[in-house]
Chain A
Amino acid sequence: MTTVEHGLSKEVELKYETVIGLEVHVELLTASKIFCNCSTQFGAEPNSHTCPICLGLPGVLPVVNKRAVEFAIRTALALNCKVSEFSKFDRKNYFYPDLPKNYQISQYDLPLGLEGHLTISYDGEVRRIGIRRVHLEEEAGKSIHEGSDIVGASYSLEDYNRAGIPLLEIVSEPDIRSPREAYVYLNTLRNILRYIGVSDCKMEEGSLRCDANISVRRAGSTTFGAQTELKNLNSFRAVEKGLEYERVRQIRALERGEEIVRETRHWDEARGVTVSMRSKEEAHDYRYFPEPDLVPMVIDREWVEQVRSTLPELPAARRERFIKEYGLPEYDAELLTESRALADFFEECVKGHHDAKAVSNWVMSELLGLLNAEGKSIEESPVTPEYVVQVLDLMAKGTISGRIAKEVFEESFRTGRMPGAIIEERGLVQISDESQLAGVIAEVIRENPGPCADFAAGKEKALTFLVGQVMKKTKGRANPRLVNKLLKDRLERA
């Protein structure tokens, strides 16, 4: 095993260009499997969501789940693909015990979606990554080998609950130029897929998986170098780290005058290295041929248009609109549009409270802060936009101070009670009545002759201290701006 020290010299870095293409598999959120009526629910008792069809018993036939095709079309459209008018399924033949028929029904030469693209932006740069194809296939079951792998395992267990869940394969063009870019591409893709509601994209549950192809070449070269395929990338971070390792490994090998072997490599997360699995020369011949049990699909244009009409605004467009329409900084717009639910939440708030930047600040710092602390997503938020609107309105009207607002909002978050009700009950309404404040101010002046003298001597800072004292006496309910003004008036008059 060669260990690679990370970090190449600037000179070497400039000599090479990295070329990356990603193959992403996502499980679709249909209620039933792609070719039978079994449930797709995650986490059930092993083999409880199975039937003769997804177990591949002799004599069964597949029937295509229309919803799965619709989701594939939806995805193809969201990724700017052409949706094929004529598409078909093919059989991919290979033996593996978790594949019930020992062939996978997939799509070979006529995938549902072709020639799309995805725009990613990071570090102020905008890049367009080509999408080569989007195709529909069936998921395999899950093997657990008692031992390191299938050969040499003392026994293997098979769970076919997953077998037949609809799977979408999204293949990018080799347009990605750095591991960081691969990471951003995955994030962007995941956000889109979640936006359009076709997949929950949970890598930890295996509903999103990624294989990466990587090669390096001399900068300026137009031909590709020999590529390796990385497997076992179990998180977006792993994709980035694995690719970075592999990029450096390949460049170092080339620098040593070695040739890159075209092969599949396994990312060893614990050791932070990639190791050779098998060379591509020994790879399977999948013997693809048209699936004779299914008739070719003619995708009606009306259907495509109907699916298109139900597509939501996608994250990139929404981000741009947030910047234009609400005058938000790019950072805010990016963060708020990352999930559809969060963006919806924000827009719902803005409908009630028109100061968009105030809403944005509140949602990003207060709401997300509280949610993150409890490990909750926006969908699980105990407060609705109505709460945010109410708290911001009260603050804007001067009814409560910012400090009280935060306190009240936290309580709303914990108890589910409306901010207005909490304020009223606890008497937290801000004191903006001069006559009510006059007494307290007089008291503070009396008790703090020193700072008063300092102020008179021109030390502006002393005023801040005195305001603080008034706030303390009123338990934060005094309107700080008014206190400031009244104190100043009184001291200057004195």
Chain B
Amino acid sequence: MELYEYTAHELHDILLRKEASAREIVESVFRRIDEVEPLVRAYITLTREEAFAAAGATDARIARGEEIGPLDGIPIALKDNLSTRGIKTTCASRILENYIPPYSATVVERLMSQGVVMLGKANMDEFAMGSSTENSGFFTTRNPWDLDRVPGGSSGGSAAAVSAGEAVLALGSDTGGSIRQPASFCGVVGLKPTYGCVSRYGLVAFASSLDQIGPITRDVTDCAILMNAIAGYDPRDSTSVNREYPDYTQYLIPDIKGLKIGVPKEYFGEGLAPDVREAIEQAMNRLQDMGAILVDVSLPHSEYALATYYLVATAEASSNLARYDGVRYGLRAKGAPDSVTMAKRTRKEGFGAEVKRRIMLGTYALSSGYYDAYYLKALKVRTLLIQDFERAFEACDVVLSPTSPTVAFRIGEKTKDPLSMYLSDIYTITANLAALPGISFPCGFGQDGLPVGLQLLGKHFDEPTLIRAAYAFETAWGPRSPKPPLQTGGRDRASIPAGSFSDD
């Protein structure tokens, strides 16, 4: 087994046992990147030099006999909407193509201070708007399970990199499912923490009241380890919650006896693909076998969630993206006769179609005369959605659903129809609207041997229960996700190796 194939906690043990150096680990990962990146295209920017320097620093600490933390020397991919000092942060947008921030996001600072090795900046949908990376201003990332398919989005580069062995860990951001849906499509673990759990300082805003940064990893243990590093109060983010944050790794307990899992009937209706339904129902049976109790719950306002989301998110985005005018940084359209024209042309040239569509939707929703009917109404429905979950959580500990209604779709399949693309987030967006934590982990395979993700939503700040449940399932049914084939056309279910979850 090559070093790049190991998880973070395995690599940590390898470093502790001095079986390999941090430099050898990062070398292995970059060899893998050199090998498969032309197929996958997960990264916008690679930071090879910085990565080798960071790995060297880890090795020096080890050589000096210093104690190293669980993430010291571990290679990570960062979504390209996380501000990194001195390193381009593009948000996959032409408008920020050459933008080099003078400061780092809080999460980046935290990781760097723990010796994490940054590999580069991962591709995404432009400004995190999309579900496939097809809205990237630069290129589309391929799904390692089938190179003709999308990796999901918007954190598609992060999920594909982790899945393809081009990174051990990754950070993504999730505004409506942008961590969980690509994790599901790429067969890896993704967690969207409770709103306020992870500092947003330095995360380039899409929709401020919905955005959260979270881990994308190969297993649940790594997810808990990465959460330990990024969760916590940050005085630079007024929406970050000042409370005690637990050691998430202490919830890596393979026991869910008595755990009450709510199954909302609204999430198993029309639009759910049969292969995904089958995989999810099989996983539900397995959870039950492990001692969990399935209870029926109802989230009666679910049908309004998508509409609500596309009002709140676009309204906030229309304002958040106003700053890209060519005056201070980023793209500046050439030859404009005055600064008003300059701003207009810069935005026309710099933003892609989906970003423009959402800015227009949001601008409309906030306009005088429409505000009450759209934005204000959406805020009210948002409250109803929160109340739906409060009632559901009276009967259960976590809420279960598919992460996405389908497995990874084909590149180009939904680009002509934005609404069908939006529907791919139907199960994930409510967690953002209700500020709840949600985890997606591989639970089986659907058509063409493509991974299916199972989503569990928890109570506010109850990431521990999500980690425990996902860990228990992973321990019992899939200690690690099988390697993706890195070819087109997916593969036969029969070819999936024994020991993974599909063939019992």
Interface residues of chain A, those whose CB is within 8 Å of chain B, are 52, 55-64, 91, 93, 95, 97, 100-103, 150-153, 156, 158, 285, 287-289, 292-295
Tell me if B327 counts as interface (CB < 8 A to partner A).
yes
Name the segment of B234-242, B259-267, B417-425, B487-495 touching the other chain: B234-242
| A52 engages B101 (CB within 8 Å) | yes
Chain B residues within an 8 Å CB radius of A59: 81-83, 89, 101, 105, 201-205
Tell me if B339 counts as interface (CB < 8 A to partner A).
yes
Tell me if B228 counts as interface (CB < 8 A to partner A).
no
Cα A339 to Cα B382 with chains together (Å): 52
Tell me if B304 counts as interface (CB < 8 A to partner A).
no
In the complex, 8 of the A-B residue pairs with CB atoms within 8 angstroms, ordered by the A residue number, are A57-B102, A59-B202, A60-B103, A95-B343, A100-B323, A101-B322, A287-B319, A289-B316
Among all A-B residue pairs, the 3 with the closest Cβ atoms: A102-B322, A292-B208, A287-B366
Cα A95 to Cα B99 with chains together (Å): 21
Q: Given A64-B238, A93-B366, A289-B315: A58 and B322 within 8 A (CB)?
A: no
Q: How far is the CB of A260 from chain B (nearest CB, A)?
A: 23
| B238 engages A58 (CB within 8 Å) | no
Q: How far is the CB of A34 from chain B (nearest CB, A)?
A: 13
Q: How far is the CB of B87 from chain A (nearest CB, A)?
A: 13
Cα A64 to Cα B319 with chains together (Å): 19
| B325 engages A95 (CB within 8 Å) | yes
| A58 engages B99 (CB within 8 Å) | yes
Cα A285 to Cα B364 with chains together (Å): 11
Q: Given A58-B83, A59-B204, A103-B322: A287 and B367 within 8 A (CB)?
A: yes
Q: Given A63-B235, A63-B236, A287-B366: A56 and B323 within 8 A (CB)?
A: yes
Cα A63 to Cα B235 with chains together (Å): 8
Chain B residues within an 8 Å CB radius of A101: 322-323
Chain A residues within an 8 Å CB radius of B49: none
Interface of A is mostly: loop
How many residues of chain B have a CB within 8 Å of chain A? 46
| B319 engages A93 (CB within 8 Å) | yes
Closest-by-CB residue of A relative to B316 is A292
Cα A287 to Cα B323 with chains together (Å): 15
Tell me if B371 counts as interface (CB < 8 A to partner A).
yes
Chain A residues within an 8 Å CB radius of B81: 59
Cα A153 to Cα B337 with chains together (Å): 8
Tell me if B328 counts as interface (CB < 8 A to partner A).
yes
Within B312-370, the residues touching A (CB, 8 Å) are: 315-316, 318-319, 322-323, 325, 327-329, 337-340, 343, 363, 366-368
Cα A462 to Cα B200 with chains together (Å): 92
Cα A285 to Cα B363 with chains together (Å): 10
Chain A residues within an 8 Å CB radius of B325: 95, 97, 102
Given contacts A52-B101, A61-B201, A91-B319, 14 further A-B pairs with CB under 8 A are A57-B101, A58-B91, A58-B99, A58-B329, A59-B82, A60-B103, A61-B238, A61-B239, A95-B340, A97-B325, A150-B339, A287-B363, A292-B316, A293-B205
| A52 engages B239 (CB within 8 Å) | no
Cα A62 to Cα B207 with chains together (Å): 15
Chain A residues within an 8 Å CB radius of B367: 285, 287
Question: Taking each of A58, A100, A153, which has the highest tally of chain B beta carbons within 10 Å of its own beta carbon?
Answer: A58
Contact with A along B188-203 (1 / 0, CB 8 A): 0000000000001111
Closest-by-CB residue of B relative to A158 is B327
Tell me if B439 counts as interface (CB < 8 A to partner A).
no
